A = this chain, B = another copy of it.
């Protein structure tokens, strides 16, 4: 937890801000860093970032004012997008660790794509607070991982999702 999360406490101790410090997306090769959800080179994307928290993975994101379903609540497509990139990022973290690497050690991580995405919206997601996706990663094949994700707003579980992510096939680089 200490390795990957930063904690800020305001005087008085009422506000805690969490931030992923070492994210897998910071180290994707440049060709793979354009994703609208999580690519650091996509100027107008969401810049989702995913790191380890012990044996779980975490992404934290504060929705923009426009990311509404209706006033007061977060757009479900954004929650789905967060789970999507959290899933591919978590799979990349897991395979990277299996290969003996951690974000920040200089090694280039693997890049995954989403084969399937399932989201159950458990309750309306309040707007105006950071969302935290927490993932549990299961290897189901050396090139295929299942990531179970829970999305919290404050301490309230708002959505539960599952991503099946596969190592990016070479066909993705044919069309440039």
A→B interface (CB under 8 Å): 31-32, 34-37, 39, 42-45, 66-73, 75-78, 80-81, 84-85, 113-121, 124, 126, 171-173, 175-176
Rounded to whole Å, the gap between the CB of A51 and the closest CB of chain B is: 19
A36: contacting residue among B31, B37, B42, B77, CB under 8 A: B77
Closest to A42 in B: B66
Residue from the list B84, B119, B126 in contact with A76, Cβ < 8 A? B84
Contacts of A85 in B (CB 8 A): 77
Interface hub of A67, A73, A76, A119 (most chain B Cβ within 10 A): A76
Contact between chains at B77 and A81 (CB < 8 Å):
yes
For A126, the closest partner residue in chain B by CB is: B175
A122: nearest chain-B partner, CB-CB: B115
State A70–B113 Cα separation when bound (angstroms).
10
Tell which of A85, A121, A173, A176 has the most Cβ of chain B within 10 Å.
A121
